[in-house]
A and B are shown apart, each in its own frame.
Chain A
Protein backbone atom coordinates (compact mmCIF):
# COMPACT_ATOMS: atom_id res chain seq x y z
CA UNK A 1 0.00 0.00 0.00
CA UNK A 2 0.88 3.66 -0.17
CA UNK A 3 3.45 5.00 2.31
CA UNK A 4 2.68 8.31 4.00
CA UNK A 5 5.10 10.33 6.08
CA UNK A 6 4.12 13.43 8.04
CA UNK A 7 6.54 15.97 9.45
CA UNK A 8 7.32 17.27 11.92
CA UNK A 9 5.87 14.78 14.40
CA UNK A 10 5.65 17.46 17.11
CA UNK A 11 5.59 21.23 16.98
CA UNK A 12 5.35 23.76 19.80
CA UNK A 13 4.72 27.40 18.88
CA UNK A 14 3.70 30.66 20.49
CA UNK A 15 0.35 32.18 19.71
CA UNK A 16 0.57 34.31 16.59
CA UNK A 17 3.27 32.22 14.91
CA UNK A 18 2.96 30.63 11.47
CA UNK A 19 3.57 26.96 10.74
CA UNK A 20 3.93 24.56 7.84
CA UNK A 21 3.01 20.89 8.13
CA UNK A 22 4.09 18.44 5.48
CA UNK A 23 2.80 15.14 4.14
CA UNK A 24 4.92 13.08 1.73
CA UNK A 25 3.46 10.10 -0.06
CA UNK A 26 4.82 7.30 -2.18
CA UNK A 27 2.22 6.88 -4.92
CA UNK A 28 -0.25 8.87 -6.98
CA UNK A 29 -3.47 9.65 -5.15
CA UNK A 30 -7.10 10.05 -6.10
CA UNK A 31 -8.16 11.60 -2.83
CA UNK A 32 -6.18 13.60 -0.26
CA UNK A 33 -7.65 15.30 2.79
CA UNK A 34 -6.33 17.15 5.83
CA UNK A 35 -7.95 16.75 9.23
CA UNK A 36 -7.60 18.38 12.62
CA UNK A 37 -8.22 16.18 15.65
CA UNK A 38 -9.17 18.32 18.61
CA UNK A 39 -8.40 17.40 22.23
CA UNK A 40 -11.79 15.65 22.51
CA UNK A 41 -10.93 13.27 19.69
CA UNK A 42 -13.15 14.70 16.98
CA UNK A 43 -11.65 14.71 13.47
CA UNK A 44 -12.58 17.86 11.60
CA UNK A 45 -12.23 17.97 7.84
CA UNK A 46 -10.07 20.93 6.81
CA UNK A 47 -9.43 20.41 3.10
CA UNK A 48 -10.08 18.02 0.26
CA UNK A 49 -7.02 18.67 -1.90
CA UNK A 50 -5.64 15.92 -4.19
CA UNK A 51 -3.97 18.70 -6.20
CA UNK A 52 -3.71 22.46 -6.30
CA UNK A 53 -4.11 25.10 -3.61
CA UNK A 54 -7.02 26.04 -1.35
CA UNK A 55 -7.47 28.61 1.38
CA UNK A 56 -9.93 28.85 4.23
CA UNK A 57 -9.33 31.80 6.53
CA UNK A 58 -5.99 31.42 8.31
CA UNK A 59 -5.49 27.94 6.86
CA UNK A 60 -4.34 27.03 3.40
CA UNK A 61 -3.15 23.85 1.74
CA UNK A 62 -1.15 22.97 -1.34
CA UNK A 63 -0.68 19.59 -2.97
CA UNK A 64 1.95 19.05 -5.66
CA UNK A 65 0.80 15.69 -6.94
CA UNK A 66 3.69 15.27 -9.41
CA UNK A 67 6.19 15.60 -6.56
CA UNK A 68 4.03 13.64 -4.10
CA UNK A 69 3.71 16.03 -1.22
CA UNK A 70 1.11 18.19 0.42
CA UNK A 71 1.55 21.17 2.74
CA UNK A 72 -0.80 22.65 5.32
CA UNK A 73 -0.13 26.24 6.33
CA UNK A 74 -1.46 27.76 9.52
CA UNK A 75 -0.99 31.50 9.93
CA UNK A 76 -1.38 33.63 13.07
CA UNK A 77 -1.84 30.52 15.24
CA UNK A 78 -4.37 30.51 18.04
CA UNK A 79 -4.53 28.20 21.06
CA UNK A 80 -7.60 26.56 19.52
CA UNK A 81 -5.39 25.34 16.67
CA UNK A 82 -3.75 22.92 19.09
CA UNK A 83 -4.31 19.24 18.41
CA UNK A 84 -3.14 16.64 15.93
CA UNK A 85 -3.20 17.19 12.19
CA UNK A 86 -3.55 14.21 9.88
CA UNK A 87 -3.36 13.76 6.17
CA UNK A 88 -5.48 11.02 4.65
CA UNK A 89 -5.29 9.66 1.15
CA UNK A 90 -6.57 7.04 -1.24
CA UNK A 91 -4.23 5.71 -3.91
CA UNK A 92 -6.42 3.03 -5.46
CA UNK A 93 -6.48 -0.73 -4.99
CA UNK A 94 -9.16 -0.95 -2.31
CA UNK A 95 -8.42 -1.12 1.40
CA UNK A 96 -4.63 -1.11 1.01
CA UNK A 97 -4.83 2.30 -0.59
CA UNK A 98 -6.73 3.97 2.27
CA UNK A 99 -4.14 5.48 4.59
CA UNK A 100 -3.72 8.10 7.29
CA UNK A 101 -0.39 9.64 8.14
CA UNK A 102 0.90 9.36 11.72
CA UNK A 103 0.03 12.98 12.37
CA UNK A 104 1.69 16.19 13.56
CA UNK A 105 1.00 17.08 17.18
CA UNK A 106 0.75 20.87 17.36
CA UNK A 107 0.76 22.79 20.64
CA UNK A 108 0.10 26.53 20.57
CA UNK A 109 1.14 28.25 23.77
CA UNK A 110 -0.49 31.52 24.87
Chain B
Protein backbone atom coordinates (compact mmCIF):
# COMPACT_ATOMS: atom_id res chain seq x y z
CA UNK B 1 0.00 0.00 0.00
CA UNK B 2 1.49 3.35 -1.00
CA UNK B 3 2.13 5.83 1.76
CA UNK B 4 1.21 9.49 1.99
CA UNK B 5 2.65 11.45 -0.91
CA UNK B 6 3.44 15.13 -0.71
CA UNK B 7 4.61 17.29 -3.57
CA UNK B 8 6.77 19.18 -4.15
CA UNK B 9 9.54 18.23 -1.71
CA UNK B 10 11.15 21.68 -1.79
CA UNK B 11 9.89 25.12 -2.74
CA UNK B 12 11.54 28.51 -2.83
CA UNK B 13 9.29 31.54 -3.10
CA UNK B 14 9.58 35.26 -2.53
CA UNK B 15 7.52 37.43 -0.22
CA UNK B 16 4.10 38.29 -1.57
CA UNK B 17 3.81 35.24 -3.79
CA UNK B 18 1.37 32.42 -3.22
CA UNK B 19 2.04 28.69 -3.06
CA UNK B 20 0.03 25.49 -3.38
CA UNK B 21 1.09 22.22 -1.78
CA UNK B 22 -0.37 18.83 -2.58
CA UNK B 23 -1.04 15.74 -0.48
CA UNK B 24 -2.29 12.33 -1.58
CA UNK B 25 -3.41 10.18 1.37
CA UNK B 26 -3.13 6.45 1.82
CA UNK B 27 -5.73 4.67 -0.27
CA UNK B 28 -8.96 4.36 1.70
CA UNK B 29 -8.11 7.15 4.14
CA UNK B 30 -10.65 9.94 4.05
CA UNK B 31 -9.17 12.36 6.60
CA UNK B 32 -6.26 14.62 5.68
CA UNK B 33 -4.73 17.03 8.16
CA UNK B 34 -1.98 19.60 7.68
CA UNK B 35 0.73 20.75 10.10
CA UNK B 36 3.37 23.46 10.07
CA UNK B 37 6.74 22.71 11.66
CA UNK B 38 9.17 25.48 12.57
CA UNK B 39 12.16 25.47 14.93
CA UNK B 40 10.52 28.07 17.15
CA UNK B 41 6.91 26.88 17.34
CA UNK B 42 7.33 23.16 16.74
CA UNK B 43 4.52 21.22 15.12
CA UNK B 44 1.27 23.15 14.87
CA UNK B 45 -2.09 21.97 13.54
CA UNK B 46 -3.33 23.90 10.50
CA UNK B 47 -6.58 22.21 9.42
CA UNK B 48 -8.27 18.90 8.78
CA UNK B 49 -10.49 17.79 5.91
CA UNK B 50 -12.89 14.90 5.63
CA UNK B 51 -15.15 14.16 2.67
CA UNK B 52 -14.25 17.50 1.06
CA UNK B 53 -15.26 19.46 4.19
CA UNK B 54 -13.01 21.33 6.59
CA UNK B 55 -13.84 20.04 10.06
CA UNK B 56 -11.21 21.75 12.19
CA UNK B 57 -8.96 24.74 11.75
CA UNK B 58 -6.00 25.78 13.86
CA UNK B 59 -5.03 29.28 14.88
CA UNK B 60 -3.58 30.51 11.60
CA UNK B 61 -4.48 33.59 9.53
CA UNK B 62 -6.86 33.40 6.62
CA UNK B 63 -3.92 33.42 4.20
CA UNK B 64 -3.71 29.70 4.93
CA UNK B 65 -6.43 27.75 3.22
CA UNK B 66 -7.03 24.28 1.91
CA UNK B 67 -9.39 22.01 0.12
CA UNK B 68 -10.04 18.35 -0.42
CA UNK B 69 -11.15 16.64 -3.59
CA UNK B 70 -13.56 13.75 -4.05
CA UNK B 71 -10.64 11.29 -4.26
CA UNK B 72 -9.46 12.54 -0.81
CA UNK B 73 -6.40 14.28 -2.21
CA UNK B 74 -5.85 17.61 -0.53
CA UNK B 75 -4.16 20.88 -1.32
CA UNK B 76 -3.17 23.72 0.92
CA UNK B 77 -2.60 27.25 -0.27
CA UNK B 78 -0.73 30.10 1.34
CA UNK B 79 -1.29 33.51 -0.19
CA UNK B 80 0.79 36.66 0.21
CA UNK B 81 3.76 34.77 1.61
CA UNK B 82 5.70 36.21 4.53
CA UNK B 83 9.21 35.37 5.69
CA UNK B 84 7.71 33.69 8.75
CA UNK B 85 5.89 31.17 6.58
CA UNK B 86 9.19 29.41 5.92
CA UNK B 87 8.64 25.98 7.41
CA UNK B 88 8.24 22.27 6.82
CA UNK B 89 4.61 21.58 5.92
CA UNK B 90 3.47 18.08 6.73
CA UNK B 91 0.27 16.35 5.86
CA UNK B 92 -1.11 13.27 7.55
CA UNK B 93 -3.85 10.87 6.64
CA UNK B 94 -6.08 8.65 8.72
CA UNK B 95 -9.26 6.70 8.14
CA UNK B 96 -11.73 9.02 9.85
CA UNK B 97 -9.68 11.62 11.75
CA UNK B 98 -8.10 11.51 15.22
CA UNK B 99 -10.85 13.68 16.71
CA UNK B 100 -13.69 11.54 15.41
CA UNK B 101 -12.91 7.89 15.95
CA UNK B 102 -10.96 5.65 18.29
CA UNK B 103 -7.82 3.79 17.29
CA UNK B 104 -7.06 6.47 14.72
CA UNK B 105 -3.37 6.54 13.79
CA UNK B 106 -1.81 9.35 11.79
CA UNK B 107 0.44 8.54 8.85
CA UNK B 108 2.62 11.38 7.60
CA UNK B 109 4.12 12.27 4.27
CA UNK B 110 7.72 13.40 3.87
CA UNK B 111 6.70 17.04 3.91
CA UNK B 112 7.27 20.10 1.75
CA UNK B 113 10.11 22.37 2.81
CA UNK B 114 9.05 25.92 1.96
CA UNK B 115 11.59 28.73 1.98
CA UNK B 116 10.35 32.30 1.60
CA UNK B 117 13.01 34.83 0.56
Contacts and interface: CB of A to CB of B under 8 A. Distances in A.
Nearest to A6: B42
Contacts of A42: 108-111
B106 A95 contact: no
Interface residues of B, number: 28
Secondary structure of the B side of the interface? strand
B99 interface: yes
Interface stretch (A10-18, A57-65, A68-76, A86-94): A86-94
Contacts of A48: 103-105
Residue from B88, B90, B98 having most chain A Cβ neighbours under 10 A: B98
Contacts of A103: 42
Interface of A: 30-31, 33, 35, 40-45, 48, 86, 88, 90, 92, 94-95, 97-103
Interface of B: 33, 35, 42-45, 47-48, 56-59, 88, 90, 92, 98-99, 102-111, 113
